[in-house]
Structure 1
Amino acid sequence: MTKQYLDFARHVLEQGAVKDDRTGTGTKSVFGYQMRFDLQEGFPILTTKRVPFGLIKSELLWFLRGDTNIRFLLQHNNHIWDEWAFERYIKSSDYTGPDMTNFGIRAQKDEDFNRIYQEQKLQFCENILVDEEFAEKYGELGNIYGSQWRHWQGANGEVIDQIKDVIATLKTNPDSRRLVVSAWNPVDVPTMALPPCHTLFQFYVVDGKLSCQLYQRSADIFLGVPFNIASYALLTHLIANEVGLEVGEFIHTIGDAHLYLNHLEQIERQLNREPYELPQLHLKDPEKSIFEVESEDIELLHYQSHPGIKAPIAV
């Protein structure tokens, strides 16, 4: 896995066009790229830097719950969605603290501001955890992934559970070409804190093995893509276990694949590291339904990696 990812990063680093972007950070970008990972060969998690698998597990279980409020994530010490909820809060009339305009960019350039920003965000997260009313109002991110996966609103007001539907179809008609789950709902996009980057995935069964292909419209190569690969590989394992199949491939198809310009030093450092062997995924209680699985039921065996590499997130 690590080789495919490093080849991908090197390709964008060397061939990517410099472009402006929504965050104002700037990127090196290519359009259209695909990677394939044989899940029989090991679990595709990066070994050239430490990837926090606990965060991947809790985020995916959050999606599968149909949840869109960061309170569940914070209860599992997962802060990967904090900035988008915080951004909504500081734009509200209830926020009366220091000016947080463009906090993502300013925090990278101004140490004094970054200290104030971190204090404000920490207080925000504490309020989400201890104040249920505050969490209900400002922990919500709109109808993002979990809502679309489990509670898609149909044209006639019906609620469609795409995950349950695709599981049912896999059990009854595994050769179906309609094993598709979409997170991109044009009606809801304007009210989402962040429109879905991983927009659509499809399952495919052959020789008793379940494969999954993801189409991702936008991919942050250094910070996001390692999470995306591991998350959808884990989802494939969980769905395969649910329907009594082995795992096949995870195919990752990407639209706008980009390296942020403030991640170039970090990706160069990673490209100079030698990969380790891939770990193995282990489900401690394979009899548990995908809707009952807890984070502690999922573990990686023999995960060895180089140390993590920090980089700023573009909001």
Structure 2
Amino acid sequence: MATVREDNIPHVVRTAADQRQKDMFSATIGRIEQVNSTIRLLRLYLNNDQPALRHLPGQYVDLHIPEIERVGGFTITSPPQTAMRLPAPTPSSTTPPSAATFDDPYLELAIQKSAENPPAAYAWQNPEAIMNAPVRFRVGGNFTHPPMELSLQEFRSMDNVVLIAGGVGINPIMSMVSAMDLQGAKRMGGLPTRLRVLYTSKRGTDSDGKPEEVLFEERLKAIAAKRAQKKDDVDFRYTLFNTSKNATHDSEEKGVPENMQLFRRRITHDDLMEALGPEERRRNTLVYVCGLPAMTDDYVELLRKAPGMEEKRVLCEKWW
């Protein structure tokens, strides 16, 4: 899989069998956000003098950086909607220009600190050294929503979706959740009738020993709060499983939406079965799992053998 870290097998070798788009796109590094001591977010603004970019939630980029021979593999964490170039308002438009936002199209990447990975090391330079720097990329990947394994008719019947992430396996899952939320309920590629997000991660500490932010925890909490207020017949629940020992109970419980749960333990098999829902409705259930190989292998084996499930509706991508 392509994500924020690679071992000694190059990304392009590991993912050689994946589908890739033919077009190469140009972009500029336009925003850098430090999430914690090991993860930063890069926003790549797309150059205007090229075709519109179309990609699916869950895909990655082959990132080409000038003067760096090794191609980086980084999962796209933003939804496809942010890469779309919105039309400028016309004089005849009934919407005042001041009432609409026309942001420049962009992709977001989450990059883990790694001195051994040249593309990641480049992204972890002093922000002033890489701000406005040019890069090129090609989109690829088979771990997508909608899934390539299902026909359009089959996908339309999927009204129960379960998303399971471990550590930085949250990257493609974040893109999927964001895309569904922006698309809205009862629309193709949008929110299903029932959606479960299970995310397990350790909370790191900074140089002073204080707990740091878990990647995308606040973004997911905000979506949960939004869905709790919508009351649009979407049964959405987000659960964070914190496997570290340094989190304080009070600070984590403050402001938690009613459709969010917090546990200080690992995801269990019982959690997975509960997320699937009743057996009688599992024929319309779609599951995505992304994380370290040991985790994904265990979860996928259980979920594919669960009564009412089948292999093609339990999709997996491994973070190496």
- TM-score (ref. length: structure 1): 0.29
Higher RCO (CA 8 Å, separation ≥ 6 residues): 1
Q: Structure 2 length as normaliser, TM-score?
A: 0.28
Structure holding more strand per residue: 2
